[in-house]
Amino acid sequence: MTTRIQPQPGIMDIELYVGGKAHVDGVSNTVKLSSNENPWGASEKAKQAYRSVAGNLHVYPSSDHSELRAAIAKVHDLDAERIICSNGSDELISFLCQAYAGAGDEVLFTEHGFLMYKLCAQAAGATPVAVREIERTTDVDALLEAANENTKLVFIANPNNPTGTMISEEEVARLAEGLPEQALLVLDGAYAEYVEGFDGHASLVEQRENIFMTRTFSKIYGLGGLRVGWGYGPLEVIQTLQRVRGPFNVNAGGLAAAEAAMLDVDYTAKCQRLNAEWRDYLHAELGALGIACDPSMGNFVLARFGSEAEADAADQALSSEGLIVRAVKSYGLPDCLRITVGKGADCKRVVAVLSVFKEGWE
Ligand code: PMP
């Protein structure tokens, strides 16, 4: 029987987003290095805060997220009224597309940018536009050329996933300055905390009316399983997004854990240090094996192989040893593998497997 219940035009053209693999059949001792999670986990204070809500699971969570917003405002020295919390930062990307883009509108992002920009634009009925990069790095000139009177949103991640590259504050400001006046620039700072001394461009948000910043608790704060994100932007944009979000979009455990994680600045600093140490190790050791990586500012490296066949074979070699990394074909990078920075011993395993692989391949 053919159904007459049909989705909106274009919905069935949306590619399914498949999350990073978590296990390999028949292989024990697996380590997941495919989703840019924090291998050191969440802070003990965050875990304790999460457990503390267990006695009250029948009660709806806060709908204005005031305590979490206050903690974020305190740590980042921001205006709590201009912060919005979400069910992961994915949800903010979706809210932005829902609120600002529809049929006939264009949503710009960079060619190797995070997939959700495209998928959320399509779900909103807008036209996604992938703009070329230069050497896997955001190209401000290309974005400015692509922007036109239909452009409503421009997404860039700084640092970018899956390339790990970053552009300077001056370049971001030049982009914001040059965009048409109806376009909102969204700066995705999912990996901002991995960059020492970086505010995710919060200060640019303060200076301009056309910038919105998104952040997450899924990466350095180690709370991917709880789904908490936040955004900072002009009051009008915040008030708009408040109208498309559900009243209880962030769960009680997530709110409690995120607040404790945000306030545990020593633990965050420790994770930043450990990540930098092992990211540098991976970068140097893979480079020595002839596997080039761009300098990554995130908690992953993008390993470039000589061909798609080589990347596939390396993926296979790693996974047969229980090391799960991320093929990034859907990001237009078929000859690359994205490897999340793991604990030291796991990074050493990656290097050992790739070393043997390289000997056999050449
Ligand atoms: N932006 C970027 C660049 C990401 O890599 C991710 C996670 N992979 C997200 C946003 C979304 O993260 P979350 O929804 O867990 O906050």
pLDDT at 1: 64
- Structural domain containing residue 287: 11-41+266-361
> Is there a domain that residue 31 lies in?
yes
- How does pLDDT run across 165-198, given as a tens digit for each residue? 999 999 999 999 999 999 999 999 999 999 999 9
> Is there a domain that residue 4 lies in?
no
DSSP 62-120: PSS-HHHHHHHHHHHT--GGGEEEESHHHHHHHHHHHHH--TT-EEEEETTS-HHHHHH
- What amino acid is encoded at 29 in this protein? N
Q: Which numbered atom of ligand 1 lies nearest the CA of 227?
A: 15
Q: Which numbered atom of ligand 1 lies nearest the CA of 35?
A: 8
Task: Determine if ligand 1 sits within 6 Å of the CB of residue 157.
Answer: yes
> Is there a domain that residue 5 lies in?
no
* Residue 102 CA to ligand 1 centre (angstroms): 23
**Of 212, 247, 264, which one is at a domain's C-terminal end?**
264
pLDDT at 183: 98
Are residues 206 and 121 both part of a single domain? yes
Are residues 347 and 327 both part of a single domain? yes
Task: Determine if ligand 1 sits within 6 Å of the CB of residue 223.
Answer: no
Are residues 175 and 57 both part of a single domain? yes
Are residues 245 and 271 both part of a single domain? no
Closest Cα to atom 4, ligand 1: which residue?
Answer: 190
Q: Which numbered atom of ligand 1 lies nearest the CA of 91?
A: 14
> Is there a domain that residue 130 lies in?
yes
Q: What is the pLDDT along the chain (362 residues), one digit of tens a residue?
A: 677 999 998 999 998 888 777 778 888 889 999 999 999 999 999 999 999 999 999 999 999 999 999 999 999 999 999 999 999 999 999 999 999 999 999 999 999 999 999 999 999 999 999 999 999 999 999 999 999 999 999 999 999 999 999 999 999 999 999 999 999 999 999 999 999 999 999 999 999 999 999 999 999 999 999 999 999 999 999 999 999 999 999 999 999 999 999 999 999 999 999 999 999 999 999 999 999 999 999 999 999 999 999 999 999 999 999 999 999 999 999 999 999 999 999 999 999 999 999 999 86
- Provide ipTM, 2 decimals: 0.99
Task: Determine if ligand 1 sits within 6 Å of the CB of residue 190.
Answer: yes
How many domains, in total, are found in the chain? 2
Are residues 36 and 156 both part of a single domain? no
**Top mutation candidate among 72, 115, 219 for ligand 1, by most atoms within 8 Å of CB:** 219
Q: Which numbered atom of ligand 1 lies nearest the CA of 90?
A: 14
**C-alpha span between 231 and 339 (Å, rounded):** 27
Are residues 313 and 208 both part of a single domain? no
User: Which of 134, 174, 172, 135 has the alpha carbon at shortest distance from 155?
Assistant: 172
- How does pLDDT run across 143-154, given as a tens digit for each residue? 999 999 999 999
Are residues 179 and 52 both part of a single domain? yes
User: Which of 259, 231, 256 has the alpha carbon at shortest distance from 245?
Assistant: 231
* Residue 90 CA to ligand 1 centre (angstroms): 6
Chain CA centroid to CA 288, Å: 28
Task: Determine if ligand 1 sits within 6 Å of the CB of residue 165.
Answer: no
**Of 216, 236, 264, which one is at a domain's C-terminal end?**
264
Q: What is the CATH number of the domain that holds 276?
A: 3.90.1150.10
* Residue 145 CA to ligand 1 centre (angstroms): 27
Are residues 160 and 193 both part of a single domain? yes
Are residues 51 and 141 both part of a single domain? yes
> Is there a domain that residue 2 lies in?
no
Are residues 34 and 128 both part of a single domain? no
Tokens representing 208 are 């301009």
Q: What is the CATH number of the domain that holds 103?
A: 3.40.640.10
Are residues 34 and 115 both part of a single domain? no
**C-alpha span between 316 and 123 (Å, rounded):** 34
**Of 248, 264, 280, which one is at a domain's C-terminal end?**
264
Closest Cα to atom 1, ligand 1: which residue?
Answer: 190
> Is there a domain that residue 6 lies in?
no
**C-alpha span between 71 and 80 (Å, rounded):** 9
Are residues 71 and 134 both part of a single domain? yes
* Residue 120 CA to ligand 1 centre (angstroms): 13
> Is there a domain that residue 3 lies in?
no
Q: Which numbered atom of ligand 1 lies nearest the CA of 87?
A: 14
> Is there a domain that residue 87 lies in?
yes
pLDDT at 85: 98
